[in-house]
Amino acid sequence: MASNSSLSRDAALARAAELHTQLHHHAYRYYVLDAPEIPDAEYDKLFQELQALEAEYPELQTPDSPTQRVGGALLDELQSVPHRVPMLSIQTETDTTAEGARAFDARIRKRLGLAAEAPPVDYAAELKFDGLAISLRYENGLLVRAVTRGNGEQGEDVTANIRTIGQIPLRLQGQGVPPVLEVRGEIYMRRDAFERLNARQREAGERTFINPRNTAAGAVRQLDPKITAQRPLSFYAYGLGEVVDWTQAPETHSGTLDALAAFGLPVSAERAVASGAEGLVAFHQQVAAKRDALPFDIDGVVYKVNSLALQRELGFRNREPVWAVAHKYPAQEQMTTVRDIDVQVGRTGKLTPVAKLAPVFVGGVTVTNATLHNQDEISRKDVRIGDTVIVRRAGDVIPEVVSVLLEMRPPQGTASEPWDLYKRLEGKCPVCASDIVREEGEVDYRCTGGLFCGAQRKQAILHFAQRRAMDIEGLGDKLVEQLVDQGLIRTLPELYTLGVAKLSALERMAQKSAQNIVDALEQSKRTTLPRFLFGLGIRHVGEATAKDLARHFGQLDRIMDASVEQLLEVNDVGPVVAQSIHTFFEQPHNREVVEQLRAAGVSWEEGEGSASSAPRPLMGKTLVLTGTLPTLSRDEAKDMIEAAGGKVAGSVSKKTDYVVAGAEAGSKLAKAQELGLTVLDEDGLRQLLQG
């Protein structure tokens, strides 16, 4: 923002104050309300303007500046800090049924000396977030310190880390903020953020994290705030620590949370004021029903007597508040043993090892299977048959084995062998016995029996039938689902044995539609070699590669018999692709399918291949098509250009050699003219193709 350098110091100060206010407001809309008013790019612009001002006038860089969230200097150790008001824990009600709520209400009524006919007590009912407790100290509305719970008397100063969490306001908003306000709440990680983080770790071949709670806690207690800044953390406020001179202090707990929300702090909307035992029971059940659908883990709900006056009257016992209780739900992590390890084959041929477990009740259901993801994960965790493991099931996520309790491993016997997927399967797909492979740089093993493998049938048929492959109109998901599930077709060639009689026996299939499909099947038999090749669904062979292969070899048999070296001679085919094609045609099953398709009448015109000396005048040239050409469709023009060795790109750039423009050409034409590129019409293209 060079223009700011012209600002006087006073003007810079005023502008910085304006930017602070705007950025705080937009951060609140974005992080806390999840309802941004401006696009990210606009926010970034304001942010960069402030950064530029601060670079010029470093005194503007106050601790509450929105620029101070990125993560400061590395710490040697976390400093221990006393809590002015201790951070206590609460009693836990472990009876996970409704009785737990009734027992708490009965205790409260007894302590308050209420007669049976006295009116019900009001409770603030909340979620029990499963993360790390934190105390945020605001002085005159500014965040000055963030401290973990520690032993309750003193915790660790994690202010630099906490500043990196977008949801935590650096400055409180609104009227009536007391001069000192300690806000207590929970730092947690959303489940989707946790899953994404682990997926990234898995892809990078790095250690995965066990659960969102441990990950959040570890991130907060980092010595390097830059690492915390990279962890997607969230926060909910649920209470108070030290408070000084709050003139408009509410008289209820629920009112306190409303006030905190008005100050710009995140407060969960999943809360209620519940009346008496039955109100608590209803809340407990409502939350239980939506527990899996919540975007974060909870391990229970918390009930608090809502009136602060009654809270004071009830006081504390054994360093726990008498007026609050945590009512638990069934745990989302449990211990069990691995009876066996199976391998499942997915729709795309991916092999996933699955632990067969001694049945265990976890996250509210009985679990007998848990994913082990892939061989690398098994090796890293060293999961073996017979091991005692921790299983986690939270939300809709598939149950997984998160760790092995090594100290419980039997000294001898089956569990002494490290488990190896390839060895266990002896290199063969458990469904179709085709070879399994693991490509370099990939974590998954795959079955190479694409067309033949029962597990991949539906996917293979849909791929084959799609418009850009065999173009069998009307053969969509629903129909393929029915055909395969009812055993009407098992292999691709059997598609061509479908008649009107078989088809019209299916659900919601009229005679007429059945006839249309039979016609579409008949029509699809006349195809081209690139379409056929693409339709086979060979891994890494997309449309472009299929065209390159067809052009290079001219005939299918030559491709099927090509060595890896010969395949490598094809335009744009590298070692991974060459190996994949070679492996595919090495499987006798796949060759059989090709033969059967030909026998069913699928045919195309074969050529000489570019081993022949057909001229390729557009070799190395990039063209862009725009508008409607008088006689050629876009696909036809594309095929002709590619046959001549050229490439068709989607957008115009300096690297574009020619732009072919037809009627109603729009911005691409304008861009071409701006860059001074050669623009052709259809005739011009035809001339170019002549060479």
Between helix 543-553 and helix 634-643 the angle, nearest 10°, is 50
Q: Rounded to the nearest whole angstrom, what is the least distance from the CB of residue 259 to ligand IVH in the complex? A: 16
- The DSSP secondary structure of 57-102, one letter per residue, reads -GGG--TTSGGGGS--PPPSSPPEEE-SS-----EEE---STHHHH
327: contact with ligand IVH by CB under 6 A: no
Site size with ligand IVH, rule: CB under 6 A: 14
267: contact with ligand IVH by CB under 6 A: no
Structure tokens at 109: 């009524």
Window 363-402: contact mask with ligand IVH (x via CB under 6 A):
----------------------------------------
> By three-state DSSP, how is residue 138 classified?
strand
Phi-psi region at 633: left, alpha or beta (left = phi > 0; alpha = psi -120 to 50):
beta
CA 594, CA 585: separation in Å to the nearest integer? Answer: 10
Q: Rounded to the nearest whole angstrom, what is the least distance from the CB of residue 477 to ligand IVH in the complex? A: 43
303: contact with ligand IVH by CB under 6 A: no
- The DSSP secondary structure of 163-198, one letter per residue, reads TT-TTS-SB--SS---SEEEEEEEEE--HHHHHHHH
94: contact with ligand IVH by CB under 6 A: no
Name the residue nearer to ligand IVH (CB basis): 133 or 168.
Answer: 133
Kindly indicate which of the ranges 164-172, 318-326, 532-540, 593-601 contains the residues binding ligand IVH, using the contact rule CB under 6 A: 318-326
Name the residue nearer to ligand IVH (CB basis): 122 or 126.
Answer: 126
216: contact with ligand IVH by CB under 6 A: no
Q: Which residues contact 294 (CB under 8 A, 6 or more apart)?
A: 127, 270, 395
Name the residue nearer to ligand IVH (CB basis): 321 or 449.
Answer: 321
Kindly indicate which of the ranges 126-134, 527-535, 592-600, 603-611 contains the residues binding ligand IVH, using the contact rule CB under 6 A: 126-134
Q: Rounded to the nearest whole angstrom, what is the least distance from the CB of residue 324 to ligand IVH in the complex? A: 5
CB 174 within 8 A of CB 262: yes
Question: Contact with ligand IVH (CB under 6 A): which of 302, 325, 570, 623?
Answer: 302
Question: Contact with ligand IVH (CB under 6 A): which of 321, 449, 530, 535?
Answer: 321
Name the residue nearer to ligand IVH (CB basis): 128 or 373.
Answer: 128
CA 307, CA 251: separation in Å to the nearest integer? Answer: 6
126: contact with ligand IVH by CB under 6 A: yes
CB 83 within 8 A of CB 135: yes
213: contact with ligand IVH by CB under 6 A: no
Q: Rounded to the nearest whole angstrom, what is the least distance from the CB of residue 126 to ligand IVH in the complex? A: 4
Q: Rounded to the nearest whole angstrom, what is the least distance from the CB of residue 133 to ligand IVH in the complex? A: 3
CB 98 within 8 A of CB 288: no
291: contact with ligand IVH by CB under 6 A: no
Is 655 an annotated catalytic residue? no
Q: Are strands 180-188 and 234-244 parallel, antiparallel or unpaired?
A: antiparallel
Question: Contact with ligand IVH (CB under 6 A): which of 54, 186, 377, 444?
Answer: 186
CA 20, CA 64: separation in Å to the nearest integer? Answer: 9
Name the residue nearer to ligand IVH (CB basis): 128 or 638.
Answer: 128
Q: Report the 10 Å Cβ neighbour count for 418.
A: 11
From residue 385, how far is each of 376, 379, 599 by CA, in Å?
Answer: 16, 13, 47
How many angstroms separate the first and last alpha carbons of the chain?
A: 51
Name the residue nearer to ligand IVH (CB basis): 241 or 535.
Answer: 241
> By three-state DSSP, how is residue 533 classified?
helix
Question: Contact with ligand IVH (CB under 6 A): which of 238, 445, 553, 585?
Answer: 238
Q: Rounded to the nearest whole angstrom, what is the least distance from the CB of residue 257 to ligand IVH in the complex? A: 9
Q: Rounded to the nearest whole angstrom, what is the least distance from the CB of residue 260 to ligand IVH in the complex? A: 12
Kindly indicate which of the ranges 87-95, 105-113, 171-179, 332-340 contains the residues binding ligand IVH, using the contact rule CB under 6 A: 87-95
**Could you say which residues in the range 44-73 bind ligand IVH, by CB under 6 A?**
none
Residues in the chain: 691
Question: Contact with ligand IVH (CB under 6 A): which of 13, 46, 75, 90?
Answer: 90
Name the residue nearer to ligand IVH (CB basis): 49 or 126.
Answer: 126
From residue 462, how far is each of 473, 483, 546 by CA, in Å?
Answer: 11, 12, 18
Helix or strand (DSSP H, E) at 661: strand 658-661
* In the block, residue with structure tokens 């919540």: 294
Q: Rounded to the nearest whole angstrom, what is the least distance from the CB of residue 82 to ligand IVH in the complex? A: 17
**Could you say which residues in the range 105-124 bind ligand IVH, by CB under 6 A?**
none
Q: Which residue pairs, CB below 8 angstroms and at least 24 apart, start in 102-109? A: 102/277, 102/280, 102/281, 104/277, 104/280, 104/303, 104/325, 104/327, 105/276, 105/277, 105/280, 106/277, 107/322, 108/305, 108/314, 108/322, 108/323
Task: Pick the catalytic residue from 45, 110, 128, 668.
Answer: 128
CA 399 to chain centre: 16
Name the residue nearer to ligand IVH (CB basis): 187 or 389.
Answer: 187
Q: Rounded to the nearest whole angstrom, what is the least distance from the CB of residue 214 to ligand IVH in the complex? A: 14
CA 22, CA 36: separation in Å to the nearest integer? Answer: 12
**Could you say which residues in the range 128-147 bind ligand IVH, by CB under 6 A?**
128-129, 133
**Residue from 637, 592, 451, 636 nearest 535 by CA:** 451
Name the residue nearer to ligand IVH (CB basis): 266 or 646.
Answer: 266
Question: Contact with ligand IVH (CB under 6 A): which of 160, 324, 573, 659?
Answer: 324
From residue 478, how far is each of 116, 251, 462, 492 by CA, in Å?
Answer: 61, 59, 10, 17
243: contact with ligand IVH by CB under 6 A: no
Q: Rounded to the nearest whole angstrom, what is the least distance from the CB of residue 107 to ligand IVH in the complex? A: 16
**Residue from 99, 105, 98 nearest 122 by CA:** 105
Name the residue nearer to ligand IVH (CB basis): 313 or 561.
Answer: 313
**Could you say which residues in the range 426-485 bind ligand IVH, by CB under 6 A?**
none
Name the residue nearer to ligand IVH (CB basis): 259 or 469.
Answer: 259
Question: Contact with ligand IVH (CB under 6 A): which of 38, 75, 88, 112?
Answer: 88
Kindly indicate which of the ranges 9-17, 125-133, 369-377, 622-630 contains the residues binding ligand IVH, using the contact rule CB under 6 A: 125-133
Q: Rounded to the nearest whole angstrom, what is the least distance from the CB of residue 194 to ligand IVH in the complex? A: 17
Interface residues with ligand IVH (CB under 6 A)? Answer: 88-90, 126, 128-129, 133, 186, 238-239, 302, 321, 324, 326
Catalytic residues: 128
